[in-house]
Structure 1
Amino acid sequence: MSTPPKIRTEQALNLLKHGYLFTSRVRRKAGAHPNADTPVNLTLMGKRATLLRGEEGVKLFYDTDKVKRAGAMPKFIQVPLFGSGAVHTLDGEAHRVRKNALADQVYEDEPVARFKTLVAEEVQTTLDRWRQQPGNVYDDFALAYGRAAFRWAGISVSTPEMERQARSLSRLLDNFGTPKGNPVAWVERWRADRWYRSLIAGVRAGEINAPASSALASMAELRDEHGELVDEHTAGVELQNLTRPTIAVSRFAAFAAVSLVEHPEWAERIRVAAGEELIDIPEATAFAQEVRRTYPFVPMLPALATTDTEIKGCPIRRGQRILLDILGTNTAHTEWEDADTFDPARFLDAGDAEQLGAFIPQGGGEVRSGHRCPGEKIAVTALSVGVAALARSEVQVSRETEDQTFSWTQFLTRPATGVRVHLAG
């Protein structure tokens, strides 16, 4: 058995310095072949960790008999991003019960169909606003996706209030996980927790009317694995986790705008297929999936081994941190034909993209029994509607270099301008 590639020196500062380039630099420095899925050992935050990539690594990472998520992510990232007591921090029966309660709200066909109609309405509202004055894709789609998510969840507040909350959550995502921005993220997390908690409290006190079967109503009645009603804070955190990720899709929308400029043949293809429609356009969905595959979003995910195991000859000890290379898996040459080529056609006949083991832009595994994000259908729906809108002939996306470029060393990244846009005519 050969010795797995490894780096002995501490890599935490390099992670902050190199961002999305960190995993490829670690592999290169350790001497791992760039196009292989060989596990790499490294030292991170004073402890040994193993970096995994590829479908086999995904299978191990999401094997709940060998791996757990609780305690793996540093608190300074986990709390502002997911919230204290969130489903992401649970394992075992507690996780299963909580996860299924969330999946009931966002993963089934009926709530997805309901969201589809609402997000199309809100994206059309954004197009109408652009007709009056120029905007930018990231900021304006964050508001559109936010309005759609809040309406879908049964949160009945004014449009200005919905947009204020969407901007707040966008600031959280712009700032968490970096030394400079993390204090801002904590402030926005505190504000969000307070607002969502007040919604739950209002429903439980009978002061707020939550539509039957809505996410708001369901989270107000959220119960733990023992059948006990969870506290207002935890219920609010999970309501937030059902809505905030939709706002984050605006990052992908900005990248999609860049890609439509770079691939005008696909813009034309989507435009012809869509006509005046915004929903259920296979070409727009395929384009959305390829954007999710190729552009940086989640850099990697951490977990902890619960037992001694091994992968490809690399031993992993109980209690050791495991890191799953998200972007590296999505673009691995061992997993994808012409991996470096932007080709939405690969998703046109792919069937259920969630069944592709190496396609993990928002995590992998199973939704109800594992840790896969239950809101993936909602995310793809929002993005595909955005793609169809941005492909319209009257939508003029900026071609300036500063609108097309983004940082590979900044978490979470996006085009700095948000990608400026206006409507012709």
Structure 2
Amino acid sequence: MTSNAPARVRFEQGLNFLRSGYLFASRIRDKAGVAPDSDTPVKLRMLGRPAVLVRGEEGVRLFYDGDRMKRNGAMPIFIRNPLFGPGAVHNLDGKAHETRKTVLVDLAYNDEHVERFKELVAEELETMLGKWATGSGNVFDDTAVAYGRAAFRWAELPLSDREMEAQARRMSRLVDAFGQPSRNAIAWVDRFRLDRWATRLIRDVRSGRTQAPADSVLARMANLHDENGELVDDRTAGVDLQNLTRPTVAVGRFAAFAAAALVEHPEWVERIRAASVAAGGGLIDIPEAVAFAHEVRRTYPFVPMLPALATTDTEIKGCPIKKGQRVLLDILGTNTAPTEWKDAGAFEPERFLGVEDAEEITSFIPQGGGDVLEGHRCPGEKIAMTALSAAVVALCRPQVSISGEIEDVAFPWTKMLTRPSTGVRVNVS
């Protein structure tokens, strides 16, 4: 494609997106005649408006450029609100976003707070293994509960064991409904119940009925202020409290994919197990497990695309973008683009061994890209990686047997959000 002839697909593509799922971007690029080894942008129509589909390093830099792109209004409300909640930081821009995001970063990205989470998630995963030893389970559901319990304890929420499990399962169900119109009503019900629960937690702290440690996540969220120095309302504070805990629960989906990947790459089971034994048998900070977890996040599907709106006329690779036009960042396509990765289609965790900070790789965006402090990158990536890599080590324990049946390792690429239907079954001997 030449710079004066942008690739283009005509007609509305909204229904095609729902039908194609994670294959949408590759099919659009193929339909537009874009070569697989090219990051040429594609013009299309989505939800009745012109849009541009981008991928690769240049696409990431454009998408996370706060001077040219904004989030407010980019994602349809019927998708945004059930998942993130009304008033969530994800939909803010400029000073409003910076003010609220700074608090979330200070809590979730701070190394001291991450270290505390490491201890808690290791405890919860050991408990999960103990429960599996008395019966059986599946990775998706059981890690979601373990992750949720660790996140709630980390946030110092005053919850009983029963309530922690109930809210973790509700959060997992909410994420599971993302992108599925048939389950949208269920998602709204779960959103209503989670908002009511979190709002009550905030209100109880603000009223003095609940005493929260001064530097706890719960206390900091109860004291959340906006860019004007005003205390945000109870519900909005409760929404962002969830946005510090729910993404950890969502990592259960990657844990299920990791289990499937261990079945398909059994040589890594032995390698990770040996590394853990050499390190004392713990679940945390095993480099081989971290590399394996990164490669799972790179190659397995989670969020297919993210939208933004152009705030000014601009261009990418000769493709003009008008102010107000929607820009779609191909997440999976960027993570697996042959222009960005050597042997992009191969599952090779070695590519991450020795990498000190994977967030510095511009084209590695399983949980978003850009700068975590100044942009829209998820501040919970360190916590997510801690949770996922610890589960990888746990699944490599010699007493754990992961099912290799087809329904445990296969999943549909046209369904969002996808995962093995069984959650990946396990037994512990």
Q: TM-score, normalised by structure 1?
A: 0.99
1:138-287 matches, within 5 Å, as: 138-275=140-277, 276-287=281-292
What is aligned with 1:405? Answer: 410
What is aligned with 1:319? Answer: 324
What is aligned with 1:363? Answer: 368
What is aligned with 1:84? Answer: 86
**Which residue identity lines up with residue 80 of structure 2 in the other structure?**
Q
Shift of 1:177: 2.6
Unaligned runs of 5+ in 2: none
What is aligned with 2:346? Answer: 341
Shift of 1:176: 2.8
Q: Which whole-Å CA distance do the structure 2 matches of 1:66 and 1:167 have between them?
A: 38
Shift of 1:175: 1.3
Q: Which whole-Å CA distance do the structure 2 matches of 1:395 and 1:156 have between them?
A: 33
Q: Which whole-Å CA distance do the structure 2 matches of 1:247 and 1:223 have between them?
A: 26
Query: Could you tell me which of 104, 121, 124 is aligned with 1:122?
Result: 124
SS at match of 1:421: strand
Q: Which whole-Å CA distance do the structure 1 matches of 2:404 and 2:213 have between them?
A: 44
Q: Which whole-Å CA distance do the structure 2 matches of 1:168 and 1:225 have between them?
A: 31
Shift of 1:349: 1.7
Q: Which whole-Å CA distance do the structure 1 matches of 2:351 and 2:413 have between them?
A: 25
Alignment pair present for 1:291 and 2:296: yes
User: 1:31-55 CA distances to partner (integer Å, 9 max, x unpaired)?
Assistant: 1111110000001111110000000
What is aligned with 2:381? Answer: 376
Shift of 1:325: 0.1
Shift of 1:210: 1.2
Q: Which whole-Å CA distance do the structure 1 matches of 2:104 and 2:317 have between them?
A: 35
SS at match of 2:11: strand
Shift of 1:208: 1.2
Q: TM-score, normalised by structure 2?
A: 0.98
Shift of 1:383: 0.2
Q: Which whole-Å CA distance do the structure 1 matches of 2:338 and 2:377 have between them?
A: 23
Does the CA contact (< 8 Å) of 1:176 and 1:184 recur in 2?
A: no
Q: Which whole-Å CA distance do the structure 2 matches of 1:30 and 1:200 have between them?
A: 50
SS at match of 1:180: helix
SS at match of 1:181: helix
Aligned length: 424
Q: Which whole-Å CA distance do the structure 1 matches of 2:159 and 2:221 have between them?
A: 17
Q: Which whole-Å CA distance do the structure 2 matches of 1:397 and 1:178 have between them?
A: 28
Shift of 1:222: 0.3
User: 1:284-310 CA distances to partner (integer Å, 9 max, x unpaired)?
Assistant: 111000000000001000000000001
Q: Which whole-Å CA distance do the structure 1 matches of 2:300 and 2:216 have between them?
A: 32
Q: Which whole-Å CA distance do the structure 2 matches of 1:35 and 1:190 have between them?
A: 44
**Which residue identity lines up with residue 284 of structure 2 in the other structure?**
I
Q: Which whole-Å CA distance do the structure 2 matches of 1:301 and 1:273 have between them?
A: 36
User: 1:154-182 CA distances to partner (integer Å, 9 max, x unpaired)?
Assistant: 10211111000011111111113322001
**Which residue identity lines up with residue 188 of structure 2 in the other structure?**
W
**Which residue identity lines up with residue 133 of structure 1 in the other structure?**
G
Shift of 1:335: 0.3
Shift of 1:410: 1.1
Shift of 1:350: 2.0
User: 1:72-115 CA distances to partner (integer Å, 9 max, x unpaired)?
Assistant: 00000000011100001100000001000110100010110000
Alignment pair present for 1:4 and 2:6: yes
Identity %: 65
Query: Could you tell me which of 388, 392, 398 is aligned with 2:397?
Result: 392
Shift of 1:370: 0.4
What is aligned with 2:305? Answer: 300
Does the CA contact (< 8 Å) of 1:303 and 1:323 recur in 2?
A: yes
SS at match of 1:63: coil
Provide runs of 4+ in structure 1 moved above 4 Å.
none
Query: Could you tell me which of 48, 51, 69 is aligned with 1:49?
Result: 51
What is aligned with 1:93? Answer: 95
**Which residue identity lines up with residue 44 of structure 1 in the other structure?**
M
Q: Which whole-Å CA distance do the structure 1 matches of 2:269 and 2:339 have between them?
A: 29
Alignment pair present for 1:17 and 2:19: yes
Q: CA RMSD in A?
A: 0.7
Shift of 1:2: 3.0
